[in-house]
Structure 1
């Protein structure tokens, strides 16, 4: 007969395995998010080639349209996806997103001209936005309190891993298999994880909190028994049910709830967090890194290979943030530290552009781009998506998170559209502009951002209701 300690150990391993499976499959949405946003950086130099060389002859303005096609789609995908995940469930929403990822990737790879490419980049953006609004919420609602930060932030690790995969595939294809229309193969690679996500999501359960909110209590208890230790199930299940009943007493969640003072205030804070995190300029660097390096005098293929460093530093930084800081430092301190580092890095980047053109200057630009990415990904990247999944009340979590992520992608659109045109017009002065914007963001976070570290989702709702009512 096994001892109680051995039985508890077996049960813990069973729960850990199930949570690992859930995290690994669901975060394929993050991998696709990262790949599809990162791959365009390597495709753009070849899309700028004339038609006879396999490109579309894109101008700087055309580059902006191709890049922002995805970000505009993502803004609307987040808004629609958040609402649909509240109505139809987190699992079904992710399943739909996987299909749209596949359609969008194929459409982009096979596009006959610039206009069709922009249309399918928009379609792909719908999937990216839907994933960014739904996957962190799903992971947050599936996670035990003690590992919620680590579990949700693995999605950010997969996003930057997807970007690294994109940069690496771009460099390999451009170096090993140079040919006209090589950009089509760069874009086509995204079909593989999309198929994996669609197959894998069929193996995962629905969120217990969504099930409780839909009066499917028996299914909720079954899911909790899958993903929690036996001694945790009763307390957590009862707390979820109590919170659902408290919210039901004031009516079913919907757009009208945003008029409630405390919900409106926490939603506005979430919108500010989401919008300002994009105005750091991080995706200007991630989308246009080769363009930035080429503008300093570095060659096209050398710039593509050097851009892999952006992906490596992003992955390592997120890993360091998750492993060493996320479970030790309060969320608010993480954001403020990262924002301060971003401001400093941007100022130095602007100063480096004032140096005479040389190979050394090109690599100094790369160095301080990497410094910026370290602070962004290690401190802000691992915390921002996590906080968005934590702060909104369950009754409007999908809607409010969708609105916040819509604003996040709206900021992304502004950066993606403005960045190449600013680089062309004012060169390195663009980094001084973003430094000034980041100082404003830092002041907003210091004044308004609440702390969420160490609280269950239900206790955070009660705390915010009391604080902001």
Structure 2
């Protein structure tokens, strides 16, 4: 694959999107939609602290423990595929409303589960919602965002993901340390908290508009223009409408629609790049920390109560890193920032491994490993974490955008499931040092992949990107 370092100049100039009442409306749309990211984060992070009391309450073996953790991720993989398909067919807003209901059903089912088998079923259902949200919300945000703010707006969903994970870590630590000894089934209360943002997501999306670009793809141009007038200045709304209408007409002439487009060479190549990005993101091992951080810190020498508290540092620095990534997103080229992120995470993998291998057991070793793990989480969430989702929301053509992102996110979630299932036995068999050395080797491969294959997308409209890729990869 050839390198794609140059960013072509835009083929058309849009009027500046000046502040006004439409800015507040767009801000509200973004806040409400990103509750899907908050749920994504909480539901994937809550198992980190809930696992110990859950394992004791339901009598989980090491095998069923890994199964209960990873079944949500497997559900998320299929949810991403289904979410992409239904989002393309019925609309982004409609899909988010349905997902909010699935979040509520899955959460309540987990809370009342009498056995690990029932818990696994509802964890799978919850995973469908998590995966569907991961495939739908970034696309919705990218399609309602102005070109010059698209990266920052899509990145806000990732900020909400890590805020959700931090909330899960803090809620777990508070509940465990305050009521853990006196309340049976304390893990059920930890899980129940997720019902609140699910209800907020459903109620809020009832008043939000549909994606204007999806409306145009369904021939509803008047509705699309009405939406753009809500979230853009008047002159900007008209100009964007002309651009989207023009591209839609070109797509109609070339019959670009549906799964048949996966056989088109340039689209297939973009999907392979998207899937590769998702796999590379997950093979950093970030979710081994998000799911098993407490257990990892206990293996590094912390006591059980200290480990669950120390694990909150991962959540705090995850949010700080994501916030910094949000501020930098529209100022630095995507590729440069992504490569820098993989270099940083690979470096911290090596430092964790060397600390575990060379230092004698004791407080110094434990705190040094904690420091390098926290710095790994920080660098990951400031760069790779948000950038992969932003790029996935940008590189695919309109009529297949959600389906293509669904395929890419399916690959991401499968890689996530592999890491989630394999991490505990691999650490047990190889130790912390060799496990993180393996992550470092995968990081070197990711750096090569990004440098060779990933295109630059910053500062270019979705329509212009589509035209460019159709020529570049033809």
TM-score, structure 2 normalization: 0.94
After TM superposition, list the pairs within 5 Å mapping 1:411-450 onto structure 2.
411-428=415-432, 429-450=434-455
Deviation at 1:47, TM superposition (A): 2.0
- Give the whole-Å Cα distance in 2 for the aligned partners of 1:185 and 1:426: 35
Contact 1:60 1:420 in 2 (8 A): no
Aligned equivalent of 2:32, options 25, 31, 38 = 25
Contact 2:16 2:236 in 1 (8 A): no
- Give the whole-Å Cα distance in 1 for the aligned partners of 2:399 and 2:266: 13
Contact 2:71 2:120 in 1 (8 A): yes
Contact 2:17 2:146 in 1 (8 A): no
Instruction: State which drifts further: 180-189 or 293-302.
Output: 293-302
Deviation at 1:205, TM superposition (A): 0.1
- Give the whole-Å Cα distance in 2 for the aligned partners of 1:363 and 1:33: 29
- Give the whole-Å Cα distance in 2 for the aligned partners of 1:343 and 1:180: 41
Instruction: State which drifts further: 223-232 or 156-165.
Output: 223-232
State the partner residue of 2:4.
none
Contact 2:17 2:233 in 1 (8 A): no
State the partner residue of 1:291.
295
Deviation at 1:59, TM superposition (A): 2.7
Contact 1:342 1:375 in 2 (8 A): yes
Deviation at 1:423, TM superposition (A): 1.6
Q: Over residues 218-268 of structure 1, what are the superposed CA-to-partner deviations in whole Å (9 max), with x where a residue is unaligned?
A: 101100100111121111101100100100112251111111111111111
Contact 2:17 2:236 in 1 (8 A): no
Q: 1:316 aligned to 2:323?
A: no
Q: Over residues 385-436 of structure 1, what are the superposed CA-to-partner deviations in whole Å (9 max), with x where a residue is unaligned?
A: 0000000000210110000000000000000000011122222111111111
5+ residue gaps, structure 1: 1-7, 50-54
- Give the whole-Å Cα distance in 1 for the aligned partners of 2:355 and 2:112: 40
Deviation at 1:11, TM superposition (A): 7.5
5+ residue gaps, structure 2: 1-14
Deviation at 1:9, TM superposition (A): 13
After TM superposition, list the pairs within 5 Å mapping 1:207-356 onto structure 2.
207-323=211-327, 325-354=328-357, 355-356=359-360
State the partner residue of 1:4.
none
Deviation at 1:177, TM superposition (A): 1.6
Aligned equivalent of 2:41, options 30, 34, 38 = 34
Contact 2:341 2:379 in 1 (8 A): yes
- Give the whole-Å Cα distance in 1 for the aligned partners of 2:63 and 2:305: 22
Q: Do the aligned partners of residues 264 and 175 (structure 1) sit closer, same or farther apart at CA in structure 2, a change above 3 Å counting?
A: same
Alignment RMSD (CA, Å)? 1.4
State the partner residue of 2:9.
none
After TM superposition, list the pairs within 5 Å mapping 1:387-398 onto structure 2.
387-398=391-402
- Give the whole-Å Cα distance in 1 for the aligned partners of 2:310 and 2:219: 53
Deviation at 1:61, TM superposition (A): 2.1
Deviation at 1:14, TM superposition (A): 0.6
- Give the whole-Å Cα distance in 2 for the aligned partners of 1:162 and 1:447: 34
State the partner residue of 2:20.
13
The runs of at least 4 consecutive aligned structure 1 residues that moved more than 4 Å come to 8-11
Deviation at 1:91, TM superposition (A): 0.2
Partner SS, residue 455 of structure 2: coil
After TM superposition, list the pairs within 5 Å mapping 1:58-73 onto structure 2.
58-73=60-75
Partner SS, residue 48 of structure 1: helix
Q: 1:457 aligned to 2:469?
A: no
Count of residue correspondences: 456
Deviation at 1:180, TM superposition (A): 2.4
Partner SS, residue 353 of structure 1: helix
Contact 1:61 1:421 in 2 (8 A): no
- Give the whole-Å Cα distance in 1 for the aligned partners of 2:37 and 2:178: 28
- Give the whole-Å Cα distance in 1 for the aligned partners of 2:134 and 2:437: 29
- Give the whole-Å Cα distance in 2 for the aligned partners of 1:38 and 1:237: 40
- Give the whole-Å Cα distance in 2 for the aligned partners of 1:61 and 1:374: 31
Deviation at 1:57, TM superposition (A): 2.5
